[in-house]
Amino acid sequence: MLEKKEKSFLKKIIPASAFIAGLCCFTPVVFVFLGLGTASFAASMADTLYGTYKWLFRGTGLFLLLIALVWYFYKKEGVCTIDAVKRKRNKIINLTLIALITGIIIYLIWLYVIVEIMGILLGIWS
């Protein structure tokens, strides 16, 4: 079972990394929502960002999630040496897998459900 400090850490970092990974499609929605651009401009921007740069956004989100996990294990769990990694191997593997799987699920819900519905409601894509 996850401890309270692990749950607190995961509740903060996973949604943040999923949000960053989904900025390729959320940015055009923000432009239309704030009145900074038209729906056709946002659709063009979404095509460019999602079509060309989606892996950059996804990679950035994954990179930030992994950096946060390394920071957590180093600062909060005191994993500074190879011996400490060996001792806490199961905890490191389990927490990393939980973070990755949960992050992917939240990313999919965020991008392909929430942002998709917002884009349809704003007339960016059909």
Closest-CA residue to 5 (of 87, 72, 63): 72
φ, ψ for residue 122 (rounded to 5)? Answer: -85, -5
Amino acid at 112: Y
In a structure prediction context, what are the per-residue pLDDT tens digits for the chain, which is 126 residues long? 778 888 899 999 999 999 999 999 999 999 998 999 898 999 999 889 998 999 999 999 999 999 999 999 999 999 999 999 999 999 999 999 999 999 999 999 999 999 999 999 988 887
State residue 73's pLDDT score: 94
The pLDDT assigned to 100 comes to 96
Per DSSP, the residues of 16-83 read HHHHHHTHHHHHHHHHHHTTSS-HHHHHHHHHHHHHHHHHHHHHHHHHHHHHHHHHIIIIIS---SHH
